[in-house]
Structures are given as structure tokens and as C-alpha cells.
Chain A
Amino acid sequence: MNATDLLKTTHARLGEVVLGKPLQAKLALTCLAARGHLLLEDVPGVGKTTLAEGLARAFSLSCARVQFTADLLPSDILGAQVFLQQQGTFEFRPGPIFHQVVLADELNRAPPRTQSALLEAMAQGQVSLDGVTRPLPTPFVVIATQNPLDLAGTYPLPDSQLDRFLMRLSLGHLAPQFEAELLVSRRSEPLQAFSPVGGPDVLSSLQRAADAVRVDRDVADYAVRLATATRAHGDVERGVSTRAVLALMAAARAWALWEARDFVTPGDVRAVLTATVAHRLLLKSAVQGAFSRDEAAHLVEEISRRVDAPR
């Protein structure tokens, strides 16, 4: 199976589990193919966890789920040296981070120290504990969720850490017809019936295919102009970073696979623009949470309309 068929098959199977969210599923798969981490931001109960677990299962990835709470410690994620009394030695007990997919539920509920332990690992692809560096498995994906409305007692992610997520998606409430369908067809545990598309190597091959997609100079210029426009926009306190431009292009490369293309088009860039860029903008208006999210998305769409695409 080539990359496009793989993606479409996976998408179809995800669609059986996560009803009525084809675009988000498509973007989430694109994020995986682009070796990116995913931030799902939405109210509880709209299928964030299901989507995350579905993604893990699709490629038979080992999966661990961490429920972030206010008393979560870094060692709860990374693991710790445990003293073995019989041998009189220390043994390393790896934490949940040593899985291919780490599902970090309600990331913003943990204190910053714990958040940063996870985010360091995301950036480096390895964990350093007590002077020993331990590589994380590959592929390694963190799928974090947060609730944008219930902000009491949370530690909002600093911008530097938001920047490490390739995409931010929000699922939103289901359309009524899908909700009804869900009630009719809902089995006890939908994920049980989910059959994988392939092993971790299939995901790796997808990622390699995305790497091979070429970028025309004009499209690269276009991405840079979009980024520059966010930096110069009057309502933006701080525009996107160079890392964000790299992320945008990586996501656009992966998106090109859906159309079975080996080159990126301006349309690919626009398709992933909001998901990859909106959460990295610091707006001038001090509104937090869902409003800020919508405002940023609108602003990015406005910029994408205003900046001329190469013809």
C-alpha cells in the first residue's frame, strides 16, 4: 500500500470510531505522519481520548495514558530508580513516557514542573535521569488534551511549550445526526473492534514518505510570508517563530500525501495553517481560553486570505 492509500484506509477506520469528525481525524493523521505532537483542546466528552487511542491502535503503537492532576510529579511520568532490597541495587522503573503514544489527559492540570518534564522529553526524544540518558521509543507521539473552559486550578501552558505541539485541534460537539447514530450503533467498547492498519513500521514509512515530499521555492516563500504577516499583524502581540514555519511546512508535506502528490502546493499550506499556527500566536487581547482560540483562528484565516499565494 502506498502512503495515500494507507492514510485513507486509516482515516476510514478512524471514522468508524470517531464519528462525524473527518477533518479533525485527517489533520490528526497528518500530524502523526509529520512526526508531530498533537494538542487536543476541547470540553470533556467530545471524543478527544477516543481519537487519541484510535490513532495509537491504528498503528499498533504501545500506548500509555497519564491523567494529569495537580499532585502529579515528574517521576510519575518519567519513571524512577527503585531500590531492590534483595539485590541491594537500584533498578530503573520506566514511567509511562516510555511508550510510543503517550496520552496526556488534561495536561494543564499538572504543575509546571511536571508539564515541563513531559515537554522536555517531547523535544529531545530522550529522557535524562540521574545522569543516564535513555532514548524514547520510536515513533514517539504525545497527544495531550486540555479543557479550555474550566480554567480554575490549572496551569496554562507557557507559549514556549505550546510551540512544541505541531498542531492544536478542537473537536467540537457532534452534529445531531451523528450523535443519534452514535446512540444507535454504540457498542460497549468501540475501540475493541478497531483493527490496526499495520505496525509501527507502517507509521515510520508514512513519515519517511512525508519527508520525501519536495517544496518549491515559491511555496516556501509563501509560508514565510504568511509567518511574517502574523508577526506584523496589529492584533498580534508576538507572531510565530521559525520553529513554527518549519512545523507548518512539515505538516504541509504530510498533507500533500493525501492527494498522492510528491510536492507541496499553497493549498496544502493553507489546509494545515490554522491547526499549526493559531495556537502559537500571542494575541494582544488578554482573553484566555476558548475565545482566544477562536480569535486566533479567525486571525490566521484572515491572514491566509490577505497574503497573495504564488500563482
Chain B
Amino acid sequence: MSRPLETLARDVTASIAFGAVAVSGSVPGPVLLAFPVALGLSLRGVRPLAGRRSASVVLLLAVAAALFGWATFGRLELIVAAVAFAVLVNCHRLVAEPSPQTTRQVLLTSLLVITGGAVLVGDVRFALFVFGFIVAASWTMARMVLDGPEGRREPGIDEAPARRQVAYGLGLTLALGVVLFVVFPRLSWNQAMARAPPGLGGVTGMSESVRLGGGGDIKTNPRVVFRVSLDPDPLTESLEAYWVGRHFTRFDGRQWSSTGTAQPPTRRVLMPFPRRRGARSVKQDIVLSSAYGSRTLVALDVPMHFLNGRSVGLGGAVPMNLSRVPDDQVLAMLEGNEIGYEAISVDEPSFDTSAPPASATELPALDPRVRALAVELKGPAKAPLDVATRFERELTRRYAYTLALPGEVDDPLVDFLFVRRAGHCEDFATALAVLLRIEGIPSRVTTGFLGGQRAGARYHVRAGDAHAWTEAYVDGAWRRFDATPEAGRSASPPAWLSAAIVAYETVEEWWRLRVLDYSVRDQFAFVRDVLRWPSGTDEAGEARGASLTPTGRGALVVSLATVALLALLFLPRRRGRGTHPASGLLDAIEATLRARGVDTGGKPLEEFSQSLTATNHPLGPALAHVTRRYLEARFGARPLGPREQRALLATLETPPGPSAG
């Protein structure tokens, strides 16, 4: 039995389901490899497992045992193991004997796989896969119907209209899916488990230490690491703001590390410096994405207050404690798919008045050239503020920015200052901090982000925006100095790329807001908005012209569109699909007969006309004539003009009878 189209449709469906979980990056490598192999074999028509029942049973049992063994010993999440098993079952079915039963099994298993994908992925890519899956699965099922239960075609099934029906059904399914999604109470499944980070895991510049030198690649990753809404909203497209993550005060000549020990977790963290009157504060609602990959909280320079921490998983948000590490950072106490919190920062450079720790002035063993450089760069400046400003300016002026890393060198600072004379932000920040300490000014290196791009109502900050700068304790407060040349402060991808990224992120933002984070509460809000019809009395005076809420208007448009679509689908449609010009005449004849109340009883016109003639029906002669002319035009190659057509139809409309005329 050969059903190539059905088999192909089935393979495509299985591939889409596999793709949905493959992009999660959580599926074990061997499984990732097995599926393409099985798919390749299936597409080439090679089916090594056809008819081998006992071998299949043994194989699948072994695979199941291995996977669940792994899961038991904690090497694999249970859900990942289940998904992997479903994928392998699908592989097996692909290389087994193709039959309608196998196709049904593949569809069912693919459904399981894609359900697992919802747990593992859940972002906008998953939406694309789900859409593809719906289309492909519908196509497969349509093929199963068209190919018939035993591989034989049912008589008279014409494929073209069947395809159209499938397309209608698909459109209806998707529309209904959206409606159900919006209206039905949402299931919260998999409350307990944290999702594996999508893609290749977390990427960030936020690390436990800042180490100079080494190899690698930085500042190119466009992935969003956190999203933030600001209050007050600056309403600019791009936000040139410094986001503070960690402070580092201890430097050993190669690596910066921190000194503090974490304080007990609390619901909120208030920085231990006094709040000054009149300082302008900015409230931030920040969500660290799973790509962030660290528990360090960031906030606009200068952060003062962290509160309302929550770990966001699939089950919703869980309240979370925060902990401050003095002179270092603020930590989230839970891990989650996302971490959300609020922060209040003060937009004033000399706000942080906490006393510098001892390590802020300690210096490692230094090359004498560095001290000489400090003297040279300082010039005539005396006051600490002037010295710091001069160092910052001179470093910026004299050294170049480069993303290329030096590799392992003995003294990376010397390498930067005297050999390569070029480096990236960490080199500049380190050099400036060391120079300041030589002059006796306490300093520290701060890592965080510089930038922020608007997407919808929020700002997105990317991994590529990671930055490091220096803070100097001058005149009783920490002040920010950034010696990195402008060109290197924030990564700027080509315009088209950033446009593409912004477009993608706007879509993903929408998906996040409208789908992933769409909750029962949002449903209530939606229903309330829809039901709140303009009563005409809320706003006294101009009440008459009260308009609907945007949601209500949208719902109205959607329901009208749905009604129109249903009407289009289910109202008796003009069957003018025949391309022959005379077919229109047949439609018109039948319509005229209906209008006159003549029931054809489902008979074709030819037979009906003959039966009228045979029973001496008054309409018989006229209909016989019209039918004859139609047949000539349709099958006898004697075309019919529109005028003649009208005249013919008129003969059917004139009331018959002996007195006619």
C-alpha cells in the first residue's frame, strides 16, 4: 500500500513537533541526533523496523529504562525524559511499516512532544511551531481522509474542494483556539519545575569576578537580559543609562573580586546611606530574563531601594527574599525562569556616601611604569576630583578601544597600558581604578550595563550592553568615572540587524504579555472591559457620544468578523465555480425555478425538464427550450450571449397558462 503524500505529511508533522522541543536545548544530544536520522530514513523510504515487533519492544523498553533511570538519578528532568522518550517513539514509528494506524500513532506522539515543548520552551518560537504543527497535523488528517481507510479513494471525492474545506477548518480551528485561549480559564500546570533556560543557557557579563586578559568574545550578543519599565517614563527611544550590578574592590593585579558577606535575606533592601531631600528618584520595574543567568540584581545608578522580589515560573510569580552583600551587590534568593523586582534609584552622582572599605585603597605589586604613568597623567591637578577627571580624560584620549582580547599575558594591566595600548571596558576601568589608588583615592570597579532600547512600553537591555566602569570615593561620596572611549561603551549592531532584533523583540514582548503572562486576572479584566458597555450616564454632559473601551471595540470588531466568516462559510454559496460561461445560466435557471416555487426534487435539469414535459406541466415547453439552449451552450459549442440569456430566463418568468399573452 502506497500513500506517499500521507507519509510525507506525517513526517513533516513529526519534524515540527521535534523542532519545538529541539530549540529548547534541553533534549539530550543522542535524541537530537536520532530524529534526523529516522526522518532521513523515512523520507528515503527505508524502514528497517517494519514488521519487527519483538525487536521494537526490546529497543523501546531499553530506551525507556535508560531515560527514566537517568531521570531517577537526577541527571535529567522527568519532563525532559518523557519528551525524549516521546521523540524516540516517534523515531521508531517513522521507520516502521507505514499505515493509517502508524500515521495516527505518529500524530498522537507528536502531540505529546509538542505539549512537552510548551513546558520546555514556551516563547514566541514555540508559538510558530504550534502554528506549524496545527497546519501539518490538519494536512495529515485530511490526507488520511482523502486516501481512505484502506488506501483506496472514496468515489467522487474531488481534492480541490476538499483542500478548501481543510483550509476553512484550519482557519476556524485557529480562530476558535484564540477565542478559547482568551475566554477559558487558564491551566497552571507544572507549577513546581523551573524551565530550563532556552537556547544555549544564560549569557551575561555578570560574573563572580572580573578577570583581565584571557581569550574569548564579548559585547556581541544581542539577547535581552532584562526588561524594565520606568516611572517616570523618559519616553526616549534609547536610554543611555548606567545600570549598576556589582562593585569590586579587591584587585590582585589580574583579577577583581569582592569582599563582602551576604546579610540575612529580607523582603526589601534599603541601601545604608541617607536619603537627601529633593533628590530625583526613578522607580523601575525590572524583569531579569532567563538569558541573564545570574542572581545579581541590577538597577539604575545610584540604586537605593530594592523591593517586591518575585521569582516568575510557569505557575506564576512566587514572592522572593533579597539579600544585600555590602560593597558588592544585591542578590535574589530564588532562581526562576525569570526574576522580577522593583528598584528605586536616585539620579544624583554623589549619592552613595558609604565609607570605602580598606580594600578600596589596597594595591597589588605594580610595575614601576604604572606609577610613572600616574604622575605623567596627573599633570598639574591637585584636588582629588580634578585628578580623577584628568585620569579619565587622558585614558580616553590616549588609548584605543578594541574587542580583541590579548590572550594569556603575565601582567594584563601592563599589556594594556604599554604594549597593546588598546583594550575594552574592563581594562579601562581597571587602569583608572589603579591610577586612582596610586594617588591615594579609594576606588572600585563597577560592572553592569550601559544602554537600554525601547520596545513597546518597556526598555530592553541586552547582553551586549554589558559594561564596566570605575567609581572613585571623592569628597565623601562615590562618583562615577568612565574612561572607556565612547565608541566602545555600548555595542551597536548594524542598523538593519537592530531593526530586525527590535521587531522580533516587539513580537516576543507581545507574546510574553498577551500569552505567557496572560492570567486569570487578565481574563477577568478582559471580560469586564467587554461587558462595560457605554451606559451613557458615566460622564454627565457629553454622555451621548460615549464610545466603547478599546477592548470592547476590539471584541466588537472580532465578533463581527467571526459572524461574517461564519456567514461566508455556511450560507448557501453560489456554485459558480464552473469555469464555463454557460454554467452561470444553469445557476440562473435553477434560481428562477426556486423563485417560482418549482421543486426540482434534486434532479438534474435535463431529467427534470423531461419529467415536466412528460407530465404536461405548464412550464414544460418553456423549460425544455431553455434547457436545450443551455445544453447547446454548455456542451454543444454554441455560445450564448448575455442578451439571449436574459431573454431565455424571461420565458421562464412569464406566467404560463392558456390565457398568457
Query: CB within 8 Å of B: which residues of A?
Result: 214, 216, 218-219, 225, 228-230, 232-233, 259, 261-267, 270, 303, 306-311
B604 & A218 in contact (Cβ 8 Å cutoff): no
Q: Which residue of A lies closest to B575 (CB)?
A: A311
B152, B580, B587, B610: the one within 8 Å of A218 (CB): B580
A216 & B635 in contact (Cβ 8 Å cutoff): yes
CB-CB contacts of B125-168 with A at 8 A, as 1s and 0s? 00000000000000000000000000011111010000000000
B587, B606, B628, B632: the one within 8 Å of A266 (CB): B606
Nearest-CB distance from A47 to chain B (Å)?
A: 23
Residues from chain A with Cβ under 8 Å of B635 in the complex: 216, 218-219, 263-266, 310
CB-CB contacts of B565-587 with A at 8 A, as 1s and 0s? 00000000001001010010011
**Chain B residues numbered 293-351 whose CB sits less than 8 Å from any CB in chain A:** none
**Chain B residues numbered 593-648 whose CB sits less than 8 Å from any CB in chain A:** 604, 606-607, 610, 628, 631-632, 634-637
A263 & B155 in contact (Cβ 8 Å cutoff): no
Question: Of residues B583, B606, B635, B637, which shows the largest number of chain A Cβ atoms within 10 Å of its Cβ?
Answer: B635
- Besides A216-B635, A270-B607, 17 new A-B residue pairs in contact (Cβ under 8 A), listed by A number: A214-B636, A218-B580, A219-B635, A228-B155, A232-B152, A261-B636, A263-B631, A263-B632, A265-B606, A267-B607, A306-B155, A306-B156, A310-B578, A310-B580, A310-B634, A311-B575, A311-B586
**Chain B residues numbered 249-275 whose CB sits less than 8 Å from any CB in chain A:** none
How distant is the Cα of A259 from the Cα of B635 in the complex, in angstroms?
14
How distant is the Cα of A267 from the Cα of B628 in the complex, in angstroms?
11
A270 & B604 in contact (Cβ 8 Å cutoff): yes
Nearest-CB distance from A252 to chain B (Å)?
A: 11
Q: Which residue of B lies closest to A260 (CB)?
A: B628
Q: List 28 A-B contacts (CB under 8 A).
A: A214-B636, A216-B637, A218-B580, A218-B634, A219-B635, A229-B156, A232-B152, A261-B631, A262-B636, A263-B631, A263-B632, A263-B635, A263-B637, A265-B606, A265-B634, A265-B635, A266-B604, A267-B604, A267-B631, A303-B155, A306-B156, A308-B158, A310-B580, A310-B635, A311-B575, A311-B583, A311-B586, A311-B634
A307 & B155 in contact (Cβ 8 Å cutoff): yes
How distant is the Cα of A307 from the Cα of B604 in the complex, in angstroms?
12
B575 & A232 in contact (Cβ 8 Å cutoff): no
B604 & A309 in contact (Cβ 8 Å cutoff): yes
How distant is the Cα of A265 from the Cα of B575 in the complex, in angstroms?
20
Q: Which residue of B lies closest to A217 (CB)?
A: B635
How distant is the Cα of A261 from the Cα of B629 in the complex, in angstroms?
11
Q: Which residue of A lies closest to B153 (CB)?
A: A232
How distant is the Cα of A219 from the Cα of B635 in the complex, in angstroms?
8
B606 & A267 in contact (Cβ 8 Å cutoff): yes
Nearest-CB distance from B472 to chain A (Å)?
A: 87
Closest 5 CB pairs of A and B: A267-B606, A229-B155, A263-B636, A216-B635, A232-B155
Nearest-CB distance from B45 to chain A (Å)?
A: 26
Q: Which residue of A lies closest to B585 (CB)?
A: A311
B156 & A308 in contact (Cβ 8 Å cutoff): yes
Nearest-CB distance from A287 to chain B (Å)?
A: 22
Residues from chain A with Cβ under 8 Å of B575 in the complex: 311
Nearest-CB distance from A254 to chain B (Å)?
A: 16
CB-CB contacts of B411-443 with A at 8 A, as 1s and 0s? 000000000000000000000000000000000
Query: CB within 8 Å of A: which residues of B?
Result: 152-156, 158, 575, 578, 580, 583, 586-587, 604, 606-607, 610, 628, 631-632, 634-637
How distant is the Cα of A228 from the Cα of B158 in the complex, in angstroms?
12
How distant is the Cα of A230 from the Cα of B636 in the complex, in angstroms?
27
Residues from chain A with Cβ under 8 Å of B637 in the complex: 214, 216, 263
Question: Of residues B153, B580, B631, B632, which shows the largest number of chain A Cβ atoms within 10 Å of its Cβ?
Answer: B631
How distant is the Cα of A233 from the Cα of B157 in the complex, in angstroms?
12
Q: Please count the residue pairs between chain A and chain B whose beta carbons lie under 8 angstroms apart in the complex.
A: 65
B156 & A225 in contact (Cβ 8 Å cutoff): yes
Residues from chain B with Cβ under 8 Å of A233 in the complex: 155
How distant is the Cα of A232 from the Cα of B635 in the complex, in angstroms?
27
Residues from chain A with Cβ under 8 Å of B156 in the complex: 225, 229, 306-308
How distant is the Cα of A232 from the Cα of B155 in the complex, in angstroms?
6
How distant is the Cα of A262 from the Cα of B580 in the complex, in angstroms?
19
How distant is the Cα of A232 from the Cα of B151 in the complex, in angstroms?
11
Residues from chain B with Cβ under 8 Å of A228 in the complex: 155
Q: Which residue of B lies closest to A231 (CB)?
A: B155
Residues from chain B with Cβ under 8 Å of A307 in the complex: 155-156
Question: Of residues B152, B158, B580, B636, which shows the largest number of chain A Cβ atoms within 10 Å of its Cβ?
Answer: B636
How distant is the Cα of A304 from the Cα of B632 in the complex, in angstroms?
22
How distant is the Cα of A214 from the Cα of B606 in the complex, in angstroms?
18
How distant is the Cα of A108 from the Cα of B583 in the complex, in angstroms?
47
How distant is the Cα of A235 from the Cα of B607 in the complex, in angstroms?
27
Residues from chain B with Cβ under 8 Å of A310 in the complex: 578, 580, 634-635
Q: Which residue of B lies closest to A261 (CB)?
A: B636
Residues from chain A with Cβ under 8 Å of B606 in the complex: 265-267, 270
Q: Which residue of B lies closest to A307 (CB)?
A: B156
Residues from chain A with Cβ under 8 Å of B583 in the complex: 311
Residues from chain A with Cβ under 8 Å of B636 in the complex: 214, 216, 261-263
Residues from chain B with Cβ under 8 Å of A306 in the complex: 155-156
Q: Which residue of A lies closest to B590 (CB)?
A: A311
How distant is the Cα of A265 from the Cα of B587 in the complex, in angstroms?
17
Residues from chain B with Cβ under 8 Å of A219 in the complex: 635
Nearest-CB distance from A233 to chain B (Å)?
A: 6
A311 & B155 in contact (Cβ 8 Å cutoff): no
Q: Which residue of A lies closest to B150 (CB)?
A: A234
How distant is the Cα of A310 from the Cα of B607 in the complex, in angstroms?
14
How distant is the Cα of A228 from the Cα of B155 in the complex, in angstroms?
7
Residues from chain B with Cβ under 8 Å of A261 in the complex: 631-632, 636
Nearest-CB distance from A177 to chain B (Å)?
A: 18
How distant is the Cα of A72 from the Cα of B293 in the complex, in angstroms?
99
Residues from chain B with Cβ under 8 Å of A229 in the complex: 155-156
Q: Which residue of A lies closest to B161 (CB)?
A: A308
Nearest-CB distance from B588 to chain A (Å)?
A: 12
Q: Which residue of A lies closest to B583 (CB)?
A: A311
How distant is the Cα of A120 from the Cα of B540 in the complex, in angstroms?
101
How distant is the Cα of A308 from the Cα of B577 in the complex, in angstroms?
13
Residues from chain A with Cβ under 8 Å of B604 in the complex: 266-267, 270, 309
Nearest-CB distance from B161 to chain A (Å)?
A: 10
Nearest-CB distance from A263 to chain B (Å)?
A: 4
A261-B636, A263-B632, A266-B604 are contacts. A311–B578 as well, Cβ < 8 Å? yes
How distant is the Cα of A233 from the Cα of B153 in the complex, in angstroms?
9
Residues from chain B with Cβ under 8 Å of A214 in the complex: 636-637
How distant is the Cα of A306 from the Cα of B157 in the complex, in angstroms?
10
Question: Of residues A219, A232, A259, A265, which shows the largest number of chain B Cβ atoms within 10 Å of its Cβ?
Answer: A265
How distant is the Cα of A218 from the Cα of B636 in the complex, in angstroms?
11
Q: Which residue of A lies closest to B155 (CB)?
A: A229
Residues from chain B with Cβ under 8 Å of A265 in the complex: 606, 631, 634-635
How distant is the Cα of A228 from the Cα of B583 in the complex, in angstroms?
24
Q: Which residue of B lies closest to A232 (CB)?
A: B155
Q: Which residue of A lies closest to B602 (CB)?
A: A305
Nearest-CB distance from A272 to chain B (Å)?
A: 13
How distant is the Cα of A102 from the Cα of B520 in the complex, in angstroms?
88
Nearest-CB distance from A16 to chain B (Å)?
A: 21
Nearest-CB distance from B569 to chain A (Å)?
A: 20
Residues from chain A with Cβ under 8 Å of B610 in the complex: 267
Residues from chain A with Cβ under 8 Å of B587 in the complex: 311
Q: Which residue of B lies closest to A222 (CB)?
A: B635
